[in-house]
Every structure is written in C-alpha cells, then in structure tokens.
C-alpha cells in the first residue's frame, strides 16, 4: 500500500485494484464457508432428529437394531458438532477480515479526491518548472552580462572640438 500523500495515478489504481481483488476473494471464501456451514447444520439437524426418533423408540420399548448404530450416530454427531464449531470460528475470522477490508476499502469518492489532489500537485509542478525556467534564463543573462565585463566601469573616449578654424587669417592680423 502506498501513502496517499505520495500517490500517483497508477499507484492509486493499482492499490484500488489490489484491494478489490482481496475483497472479492474474501467474499467468495466467506460465501463458500457459509454454504458449508449451512450444509453441516442441516446434516446435524437430520442426525439429531434421527437420534431423537431412535431414543423415542427405545423409550417405547422397541429394541434398536444394534447398540453400535447408536454409538456410531453419537460419534458422527460429535464430529459434526466439532466441524460446526470450527466453521463458526472460521466464519468469525472471515467476517473480521471482511470488516477490516471494508474499513480499508477506498471509495470512488476518495479516489476522485486523490486524483484531484494529484492534478493540483501536477499544476503546482508546472508552475514551479516555469518559474525555474524563468530564473535559469535570468541567470544565463546575468552570466552573459558578466562575461562581457559590464561590472567594469565603461571606458569612453571623449573628443573635444575646439574652435580652431581652418582660416589662419585670424592669427595673422
């Protein structure tokens, strides 16, 4: 199972699929054991009815066919009682597992919320990547300006024009 905070879409789908498979397997197993339990209960009821009928025959003075048949029925009845108890125990354990899975089961609404959160994180990532690109561009520009020597004081050549004329006539006078 992945943590919801670090979950991406494929992991969320994978986790949901895995939980649904486990849940389905538990339900099938639970239903099979319920059917076995019902069958065992029915068989036990039939044997108990048979035992009761035979006991009534004994009470009325009718002899049984053999003492072994009653002992066999009692042994079979005891075995079935043990089977029923073990099936009931397994049934309780499966019910606990089903309840636990129902608690852990991610609903469609929760999956939608996870996908929404994932989309929000993707948008934030795009924004951060755009900001990063902008800052990298600024950094590259700053590096280029530094490489050109913009930090050095600019050198200018000043040209002064004097009022010297080409006429030497002013000097000769």
Q: What is the pLDDT of residues 10-63, one digit of tens each?
A: 888 888 888 888 888 888 888 888 888 889 889 889 888 888 887 777 777 655
Short-list 33, 11, 6, CA closest to 98: 33
Residue owning tokens 């490489």 = 147
Kindly report the pTM of this predicted structure: 0.36
In this structure, are 86 and 143 located in the same domain?
no
Domain-located, residue 83 = yes
Short-list 102, 125, 103, 114, CA closest to 12: 114
Q: Yes or no: say if 23 and 105 are a contact pair by the CB < 8 Å rule.
A: yes
Domain-located, residue 144 = yes
Give how many domains the chain has, as a whole number. 2
Contact residues for 29 (Cβ-Cβ < 8 A; gap 6+)? 94
In this structure, are 88 and 112 located in the same domain?
no
Domain-located, residue 167 = no
Domain that holds residue 114: 108-148
In this structure, are 116 and 62 located in the same domain?
no
C-alpha dist (Å) from residue 109 to 101, 163, 164:
17, 89, 92
């Amino acid at each position: 199972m992945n943590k919801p905070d670090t979950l991406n879409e494929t992991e969320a789908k994978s986790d949901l699929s895995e939980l649904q498979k486990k849940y389905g397997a538990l339900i099938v197993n639970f239903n099979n054991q319920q059917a076995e339990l019902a069958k065992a209960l029915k068989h036990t009821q039939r044997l108990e009815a048979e035992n009761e009928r035979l006991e009534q025959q004994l009470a009325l003075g009718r002899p049984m066919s053999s003492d072994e048949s009653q002992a066999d029925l009692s042994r079979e009845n005891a075995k079935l009682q043990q089977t029923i108890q073990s099936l009931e125990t397994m049934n309780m354990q499966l019910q606990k597992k089903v309840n636990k899975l129902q608690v852990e089961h991610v609903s469609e609404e929760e999956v939608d919320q996870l996908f929404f959160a994932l989309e929000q994180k993707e948008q934030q990532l795009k924004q951060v990547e755009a900001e990063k690109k902008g800052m990298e561009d600024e950094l590259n520009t700053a590096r280029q300006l530094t490489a050109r020597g913009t930090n050095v004081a600019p050198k200018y050549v000043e040209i002064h024009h004097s009022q010297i004329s080409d006429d030497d006539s002013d000097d000769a006078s």
